[in-house]
Chain A
Amino acid sequence: MSREQHVAQVFVELADTLVDDFDVVDLLHTLCERSVELLQADAAGLILADQRSVLHVMASTTAEANIVELFVLQNDEGPCLDCYFTGKQMVNIDLDEVAERWPRFHAATVAAGYRSTHALPLRLRGRVLGVLNLFCTERTTLSDADVDLGQALCDIATVGLLQERTLRQAEVLAEQLQSALNSRVLLEQAKGVLAERATISVDQAFTLMRAYARRNNQQLIAVAAAVIEGTISESTLQAPNS
């Protein structure tokens, strides 16, 4: 099977995991397994960062303690950490040469029997969500095409994560969006109403409403609604101490 066919098959296999009761951990696990196959590695782990930028192993090709440890300790040093903070692909790293740079990581990889490693970022809109970390028992060199393939796998993971979270939070987020759109309209309408009543510009009307809202600890949108309904007068808004 050619590389292209293999890639296409990977995509189909990954796509098959995307059903309505979508299991993101399943997807990440499949991604780890396929990345090992396609990039001649021996172990892979998918690391995601939480809100405090702590890296967590979400999936890996083996549950052996020494492998998991290799990922966990990379919260302090290692290619995953560097990849997470820079967003740069780190490939073809010869583990014999990292003793000075990452001493603890180096010791752990030697103990586990690995000779090279790669770290590829999961990114969305220029921000890094996590890292795909691969380990090889041989000294492996990935070609540019291999790196592109690995990056594509990471992008597939990112899209899967995006879809899973939008699925989970769809109604809440959609309501927020709709509400934010409608509030913006209301605010502009209120500027027009107040501008006409007080014979001022729309910008001055905005300043008045915002100042009143702050002085009275109210939400700007509530003041805008009151302006449109006529339950608050322009003289009240213009009075400096109201």
Chain B
Amino acid sequence: MASPRVQQILLEVLDFDKPDPPARSGATVWDRLCASVTTAVPVTGAGIALMIPSGHGGTLAATDEAAGVIENLQETLGEGPCLNAFHDRRPVLHPDLPEAATRWPAFTPAATQAGIAAVFAFPLQIGAIRLGVLDLYRDAPGSLDTLQLTEAIDYATAATTMLVDLQHATSPGELHPQLADAADEHREIHQATGVIAAQASVPINEALLLLRARAYADERPLLGLAQDVVARRVTFSPEVDHHE
């Protein structure tokens, strides 16, 4: 946690004399960290996601549209590099994304179409406790060498340090506003999961799978479908949707 390079990164990206700007202002410490890593490591863009047991927990920052696409795809499809990095507790490196088609049959073609040719995901964790992922992507294939990987991991460590430090400034049980804003992006997805669980008489985890399956079948983003579910414009029922 205390390498000199991590200290340099923190010096570069932290807010010293100004309070934290609001979460979506584009000028947060997360935005600066993502921008900085793209200059230090040969990648095109970066994003940081919070993670929860059921998957993507909200995007803290994304340097460009493609990075945003990566985060949204992983949220919608429930598959992708950050989820594997989160579950496996180690970096997930795909220097040539099309080769990951069997691993991520839905994510790979969609991400490739968005111009993403390589992805590298680094978990943000303290021991066994997993908090999020730093996603890096490239618009041309190619791997990161050992030094570049070390640099990326130093950025992940800096991000983890910042997350923990934000919690230090927050009461236990509460989330820092910057993190709450990111987590609240997905609020309707969780609400929809609850609605479906009650409508289809299924456990919560299965309700999320039903929501995802419907979004995939209808070819629409998860959040939009979730909003329709919460507004009762779309309903699920035990007979039609319950799978054994």
Contact = CB atoms under 8 A, between A and B. Distances in A.
A87 B17 contact: yes
Nearest to B199: A196
Interface string B165-184: 11111101111000110011
Contacts of B195: 192-193, 195-196
Contacts of A197: 198
Contacts of B53: 182
Interface stretch (A30-38, A102-110, A121-129): A121-129
B194 A177 contact: no
Given A124-B14, A165-B168, A196-B198, A160 B126 contact: no
Query: Would you call the interface of chain A mostly helix, strand, loop, or mixed?
Result: helix
A19 B1 CA distance: 9
- Residue of B164, B168, B169 ringed by the most chain A CB atoms within 10 A: B164
A174 interface: yes
B131 A195 contact: no
A190 B194 contact: yes
13 contacts: A15-B4, A20-B1, A20-B2, A155-B16, A163-B10, A165-B165, A166-B161, A170-B127, A170-B164, A173-B168, A177-B175, A189-B194, A196-B198
Contacts of B204: 189, 228
A195 B16 contact: no
B175 A159 contact: no
A178 interface: yes
B15 to A, nearest CB: 5
Contacts of B52: 181-182, 185
Nearest to B127: A171
A192 B168 contact: no
Interface string A13-50: 00110111010000000000000000000000000000
A156 B12 CA distance: 10
A71 to B, nearest CB: 23
Given A18-B2, A20-B1, A177-B166, 4 more contacts: A165-B165, A173-B168, A177-B131, A189-B190
Contact of B187 (A123, A165, A177, A188): A188
Contacts of A125: 14-16, 18-20, 169
A193 B167 contact: no
A184 B180 contact: yes
A226 interface: no
